[in-house]
Structure 1
């Protein structure tokens, strides 16, 4: 664990926001990043619980090894921290920004309403890794000769494409929109996550040999039968843009709109 008495001595802290007078002037992210020293202090609060609920069944759905990388950050080992984080999570810079953080809900320190700032530390690890040049393409050294199509380039499609490419397969990703990212790009507004983070991840994945085909609507521009005939395997990662019904009276009235079509429309314009 980080600091044995850290959770007793250090208060929970997360990034502060820009003043309202500044953030109303733009639509970008407005959280002020914490310094490395501040992030390390937050990592020191991790208790290394006997049963770490943060990545158990009620915590992180991708089973991030949270106590491990908290300890690595506390000890200033950012390279090993991003390696550990990448072992379970292809895109920690995305989840560190938009994940609802069930890990913090499950944190033992949440019994006192002051959980470890896990999401803040996760984002800091990813951003620091980019700053230090630790995140680079890792192309396969052995190729299988197998060809795989991935339909959809949202987070599942991108992650699958990256893992398949690193396994040595020839991977082709088919995306209906003009740019990769799925709802990461078209469903999340810039103030939650700016799109340059998606672009640099796509460049890494391309550097690992994955080919993206944008503006291709599978089922319209190319048939599923054609993909099945031309590839050894086809992976369906289409996701869903169908809004979830609110189930409340008045939702059918004129002037009441679902958020999803609005967000997609506005992000396309941006």
Structure 2
């Protein structure tokens, strides 16, 4: 698994940046916090591959077994955030940094079909039929926003802005398969044993998006955002006897959200 984490070097960078911003903006009360609701199209893909060249003791040639399954969900999400913004009371450009935490309501499910039976009837245990699920244990982001204050007909002020940042998603990936001893595959009428395995990788996504913010009071605002989180993957090898099966799990997502902010 790749060593993904927002800590410690990223946290140090964030701390120094927030301190610098606070030094210039604290007199104007630019700190803010808030929460929001969102809807996300969250996609997950599960890949496995076994190449008989990796285990020549089977005396097979050019047999490659691949299987891929994907699933997506449209979970509702609840987010909380805090940050700092420079330029709140000025017409023109403004810049902000915020940290976020998201709670999600749904899981992604799938079924990897059973493949991997060789010409001699040999069942490759690493490629048996599997049910799998993926849910988010932790979702946190560091986001930079840059925008400008626009006046419409001299009466309506609002702020379009762009979004960029990094998102770390810790997921719980579970898969279950039924086996019948050394035969692996159960025949009709046979009772097998269900085995469940779990992984908890952290996936790092780059985030880009657009938003628009409108103040509905001197210190409160409402905003709408649309974001894309780029694909990232977790890869590992599974080994049974002399068989090595490279496997991977990847995710990406689109989301929209409505947020309410209070400025201090």
Q: Do these two structures clear the TM 0.5 threshold for a shared fold by scoring above it?
A: no
Compare the two structures and name the one with the higher helix fraction: 1
- TM superposition score normalised by structure 2: 0.19
Compare the two structures and name the one with the higher strand fraction: 2
Work out which of the two has the higher radius of gyration on C-alpha atoms and give 1 or 2.
2
- TM superposition score normalised by structure 1: 0.19
